[in-house]
Amino acid sequence: MPNNAPADAGQRAFGEAALKGKLLLGLCRDTGQHFFYPRATSPFTLSPNVAYVEAAGTGTIYSVTVARGKQPLALAVVELAEGPRMLTNIVECDLDSVRIGQAVRLIWQEREGRGKVAVFTPA
C-alpha cells in the first residue's frame, strides 16, 4: 500500500481475496451498483452500506495502448462484466491482435516484489 497508510476494510478484503486468486468488487447496497476498487464507502452514495463480492472474472477491453519498449506490454482499461472498469495489463497474447471490444478473462500472475496481480488474457 502506498505511503504505509492504514488499509480500510475494502482494501484488506481485496488483498486477502487476491491471495486466494479472487478479484473483489465493491457493491453499493443502496443502489445495487458495483464499483472498483473496493472501499469502505460507496462512491455513489458515500454510505458505508457496502458489500464485497467476487467478480466473475470476465470483461471486454474498453481502451488499450501497446508500448513497444524493451519489455513490450498492452496496458488496458477493462470493463468488467459487472460494469466497473479497471486498469490492467493484457498478457499471454499477440500484442498486434489486442483490440477494443475484445472479450478477456482474468488470470493471476506472480510479480516480483508484488505477489499475485490481476491481469487479463483474451477469452
The domains found in the chain, sorted by start residue, are 1-54 (no CATH), 57-123 (2.40.50.840)
DSSP, collapsed to helix, strand or coil, labels residue 95 as helix
Predicted local distance difference test score (pLDDT) of residue 111: 80
Task: Give the span between the Cα atoms of 115 and 88, in whole angstroms.
Answer: 15
Torsion sign over Cα 34, 35, 41, 43: negative
pTM for the model stands at: 0.86
Burial of 45 (0-12, 13-18, 19+ CB in 10 A): middle
Q: From first to last of its 123 residues, what are the pLDDT tens digits of the chain?
A: 344 555 677 788 888 898 889 999 999 999 999 999 899 999 999 999 999 999 999 999 999 999 999 999 999 999 999 999 999 999 999 999 999 999 999 999 988 877 789 999 999
Cα torsion for 40, 45, 49, 54, to the nearest 10°? -60
pLDDT given for residue 7 in this prediction:
62
DSSP state of 70: S
Q: DSSP H helical segments within the chain, as ranges?
A: 9-19
